[in-house]
Amino acid sequence: EPEVTQTPSHQVTQMGQEVILRCVPISNHLYFYWYRQILGQKVEFLVSFYNNEISEKSEIFDDQFSVERPDGSNFTLKIRSTKLEDSAMYFCASTEYRGSPLHFGNGTRLTVT
Amino acid sequence: KQEVTQIPAALSVPEGENLVLNCSFTDSAIYNLQWFRQDPGKGLTSLLLIQSSQREQTSGRLNASLDKSSGRSTLYIAASQPGDSATYLCAVSNNNDMRFGAGTRLTVKP
């Protein structure tokens, strides 16, 4: 069965550095998402992306964050100038059309020291 | 803003019991509701998706119901097994996002 894949599985970075989290959504999916889960807390919506543009973003997704689909397969989340509180599990998800099941990757655990 | 609440936060049952997990949401104008399973340190596995026009979905020992007007969904697990131990998350889609509850942490004891 097709999967959403995320790399790396674990990323350690120093405060103030930039990180790029990578995702390969399922190939025929059109809607892409990033979520995060701080340890012990809820899964939180960050941003949705469709037709090469952001369709919705949460209050968490401020100017520190950006997303890009640089080619036909990758979907990336960039965090500029990371802060300690950015430490979390970041999940990429995709769906074929609005209303179809959301498929998640296994996540990237980001640790900011 | 959509708020999703799950009750109970944690549940421990002996193997073989039938159980019900509850989910409520504040904005009934939803596209769909999806139940996920999350094992510790892992990603989210989709269990069931209920469209807003549907009232229930079944997959094996799992049955999910949706009462959109009252803003409620239940996940029924029949004949629970130790392998069912995980956190179960309810998520509701309104527009271009999906909002999650905090989950119910289920432990099924052998």
Residue A83, both tokens:
């802060």
**pLDDT of residue A34 exceeding 80:** yes
Q: What local confidence, expressed as pLDDT, does residue A98 receive?
A: 80
CB B85 within 8 A of CB B19: no
Q: A106: distance to nearest CA of chain B, Å?
A: 4
Backbone angles phi, psi at A85, to 5 degrees: -75, -5
CB proximity B8 to A under 8 Å: no
Secondary structure (3-state) at A8 = coil
What is each CA distance from A61 to A34, A36, A46, A53, B103, in whole angstroms? 10, 11, 6, 14, 23
pLDDT of residue A92: 97
Q: Which residue has the higher pLDDT, A15 or B1?
A: A15
Q: Is the separation of the CB atoms in A94 and A26 below 8 Å?
A: yes
More confident residue, A40 or A12: A12
Q: What is the pLDDT of residues B46-100, one digit of tens each?
A: 999 999 999 999 999 999 999 999 999 999 999 999 999 999 999 999 877 889 9
**Shortest Cα–Cα distance, B61 to chain A (Å):** 19
- Residue A89 is predicted with a pLDDT of 97
Q: Is A106 an 8 Å CB contact of chain B?
A: yes
Q: What is the pLDDT of residues A65-90, one digit of tens each?
A: 999 998 878 999 999 999 999 999 99
Are A58 and A67 contacting, i.e. CB atoms less than 8 angstroms apart? no
Residue A1 has pLDDT above 80, yes or no: no
Please spell the DSSP secondary structure of B18-58, one letter per residue. -EEEEEEES----SEEEEEEE-TTS-EEEEEEEETT-SEEE
What is the per-residue pLDDT for A109?
97
| % of chain A residues with pLDDT over 70 | 100
Is residue A2 pLDDT above 80, yes or no? no
Percentage of chain B modeled with pLDDT above 90 = 86
A105 — contact with chain B (CB < 8 Å)? yes
Distant-in-sequence, close-in-space partners of A59: CB < 8 Å, separation ≥ 6: none
In the numeric block, which tokens belong to residue A8? 């790396």
For A111, other C-beta atoms within 10 Å of its C-beta total 13
Binary contact (A91, B103; C-beta < 8 A): no
Spell out the residues 6+ positions from residue B46 whose beta carbon is closer than 8 angstroms to its own.
A101, A102, A103, A104, B34, B35, B36
Distance in Å, alpha carbon of B15 to nearest chain A alpha carbon: 26
Q: What is the pLDDT of residue A58?
A: 92
User: Hey, what are B4's tokens?
Assistant: 């999703």
Contact, B19 vs B84, CB < 8 A? Answer: no
User: What would you measure as the largest C-alpha separation in chain A, in angstroms?
Assistant: 38
Q: pLDDT averaged over chain B?
A: 94
Give the mean pLDDT of B20-37: 95
> Average of pLDDT values for B11-32?
95
DSSP code of residue A86: G
